[in-house]
């Protein structure tokens, strides 16, 4: 493994646009993904950004990370804190990955940071994701934020954000995904995700059935692990929901603005994390209520009004697909339900399709470009393994499927777009082009 690969002959576009920088980064490192902390930590130390003075929450997990990050950001922002938020991947624009005070950072700030990183790295080769992580930390360091929320890109133990020793670590859920990097079962994956825990610092898990490996690792390093149903919990009620811990209780809380009963599980973990962060960033009940009422998150059961109605969701593994299916069942359509999906070949396509079985009147399968993209024909092979026989149409591109569905769907129909971020992002951009806007979510 060459951690110190020589520079490419081509120089980075120091005075170019953000797109130039990103294209150059994708060509810089031999591997698209290379887990490990040595290279990114060395560059962070050279830049003086590896030991921030602001409070930090690191958020990992298979599913629920994005929702948890969004709720943390909304509540802390409502409490008056200047919040930095780093997430990946982006849906439409790269700038979505780095936000301060809820707003995406501008191109020129990101480009300036990339230039500083390139100057500091010397002969250390960095991946696309590592450049982005360092840029977020650099921008946060220079922006005088009070607290940063860092979303793990993949796994945890060897993910670039793990160079920061978080004040509180939160693991939302643990399920099977990225098996080529993290392992083939929940125990192996749980151990990787527990890598964001720190000795003598609190860790929160909002998965109701955490793997033993996650619990064991916390005990081995001396991290105080707070578990859903043990140190804290929640209860649904007609008038809202209640949350409790060993130290406090909140009754009749508003439901999160994000759609789905499962968001209460995510919200419960968020409130536990905030309780543990209270010595540095205390929040009031009023801030909690405001944050829950105003939180938004693109691409998670995001509804665009019609006709026809479009629903965008980045569910791309069996666990998230089961949650999506439950949410759909709880909200029957007046007309037909039409599925549009494109997936990456290295995902559990069969597991995702089984979870969504029985809910679609038509399937529209899309070929995704790139070496990891599955073809529509490959998706069709998986769909034919289901016991149901549902009409399917194969499309060469997202644009082609979008155009056909827009032309043929009835006014009472709904179109669910799910799967890869690439699929959902493509449709989001097309809807934006056509002037469609997301409607306010109601739990």
Contact 223, 203 (CB under 8 A): yes
Cβ neighbors of 157 (< 8 A, separation 6 or more) are 191, 192, 193, 194, 195, 196
Dist. CA 4–CA 30, nearest whole Å: 11
Nearest to 253 by CA among 443, 63, 57: 443
Angle, to 10 degrees, between the axis of helix 107-121 and the axis of helix 128-143?
A: 110
What pLDDT does residue 3 have?
A: 38
What pLDDT does residue 9 have?
A: 35
What pLDDT does residue 23 have?
A: 78
Report residue 264 CA to chain centroid gap: 17
> What would the two tokens of residue 17 be?
């646009």
What pLDDT does residue 183 have?
A: 53
What pLDDT does residue 7 have?
A: 39
Dist. CA 364–CA 378, nearest whole Å: 13
Cβ neighbors of 267 (< 8 A, separation 6 or more) are 71, 234, 241, 243, 256, 292
Read off the pTM: 0.88
pLDDT (tens digit, 0 to 9) for every residue of the chain, 443 residues total? 333 333 333 445 444 588 877 777 776 654 555 567 899 999 999 999 999 999 999 999 988 999 999 999 999 999 999 999 999 989 889 999 999 999 999 999 999 999 999 999 999 999 889 999 999 999 999 999 999 999 998 778 889 999 999 999 999 998 855 555 555 688 888 988 999 999 999 999 999 999 999 999 999 999 999 999 999 999 998 889 999 999 999 999 999 999 888 899 999 999 999 999 999 999 999 999 999 999 999 999 999 988 899 999 999 899 899 999 999 999 999 999 999 999 999 889 999 999 999 999 999 999 999 888 999 999 999 999 998 888 999 999 999 999 999 999 999 999 999 999 999 999 999 999 998 888 865 44
CA 376 vs CA 55, 183, 347, 365, 396: distances in Å:
45, 27, 14, 5, 7
Contact 363, 392 (CB under 8 A): yes
Cβ neighbors of 19 (< 8 A, separation 6 or more) are none
The vertex-389 CA angle with 386 and 393, nearest 5°, equals: 100
What are the structural domains, with CATH classification, of the chain? 18-294 (3.40.1190.10), 302-433 (3.90.190.20)
Query: What residues are paired with 168 via a beta bridge?
Result: 57
The number of beta carbons lying within 10 Å of the beta carbon of residue 301 is 22
Dist. CA 61–CA 186, nearest whole Å: 11
The vertex-234 CA angle with 297 and 187, nearest 5°, equals: 75
């Amino acid at each position: 493994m060459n951690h110190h690969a020589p520079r490419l002959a081509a120089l980075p576009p120091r005075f170019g646009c953000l797109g130039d920088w990103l294209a150059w980064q994708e060509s810089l490192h031999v591997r698209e993904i290379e887990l490990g902390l040595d290279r990114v930590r060395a560059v962070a130390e050279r830049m003086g950004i590896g030991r921030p003075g602001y409070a930090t929450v690191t958020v990992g997990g298979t599913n629920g990370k994005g929702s948890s990050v969004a709720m943390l950001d909304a509540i802390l922002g409502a409490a008056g804190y200047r919040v930095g938020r780093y997430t990946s991947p982006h849906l439409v624009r790269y700038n979505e990955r780095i936000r301060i005070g809820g707003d995406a950072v501008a191109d020129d700030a990101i480009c300036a940071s990339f230039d500083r990183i390139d100057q500091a790295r010397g002969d250390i080769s960095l991946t696309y994701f590592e450049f982005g992580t360092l840029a977020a930390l650099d921008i946060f360091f220079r922006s005088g934020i009070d607290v940063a929320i860092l979303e793990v890109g993949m796994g945890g133990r060897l993910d670039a954000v793990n160079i920061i020793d978080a004040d509180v670590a939160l693991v939302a859920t643990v399920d099977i995904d990225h098996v080529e990097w993290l392992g083939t079962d929940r125990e192996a994956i749980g151990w990787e995700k527990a890598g964001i825990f720190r000795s003598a610092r609190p860790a929160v898990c909002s998965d109701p059935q955490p793997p033993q490996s996650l619990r064991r690792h916390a005990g081995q390093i001396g991290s105080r692990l707070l578990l859903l149903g043990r140190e804290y919990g929640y209860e649904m009620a007609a008038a809202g929901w209640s949350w409790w811990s060993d130290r406090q209780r909140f009754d009749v809380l508003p439901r999160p603005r994000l759609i789905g009963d499962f968001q209460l599980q995510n919200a419960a973990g968020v409130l536990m994390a905030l309780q543990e962060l209270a010595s540095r960033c205390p929040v009031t009940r009023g801030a909690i209520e405001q944050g829950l009422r105003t939180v938004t998150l693109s691409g998670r059961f995001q509804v665009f009004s019609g006709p026809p109605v479009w629903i965008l969701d980045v569910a791309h593994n069996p666990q998230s697909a089961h949650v999506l299916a439950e949410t759909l069942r709880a909200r029957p359509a007046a007309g037909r339900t039409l599925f549009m999906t494109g997936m990456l070949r290295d995902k559990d396509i069969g597991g995702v399709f089984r979870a969504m079985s029985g809910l679609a009147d038509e399937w529209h399968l899309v070929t995704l470009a790139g070496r990891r993209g599955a073809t529509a024909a490959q998706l069709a092979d998986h769909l034919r393994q289901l016991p149901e026989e549902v009409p399917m149409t194969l499309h060469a591109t997202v644009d082609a499927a979008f155009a056909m569905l827009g032309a043929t769907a009835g006014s009472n129909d709904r179109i669910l777009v799910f799967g890869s971020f690439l699929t959902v992002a493509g449709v989001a951009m097309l809807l934006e082009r056509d002037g469609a806007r997301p409607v306010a979510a109601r739990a």
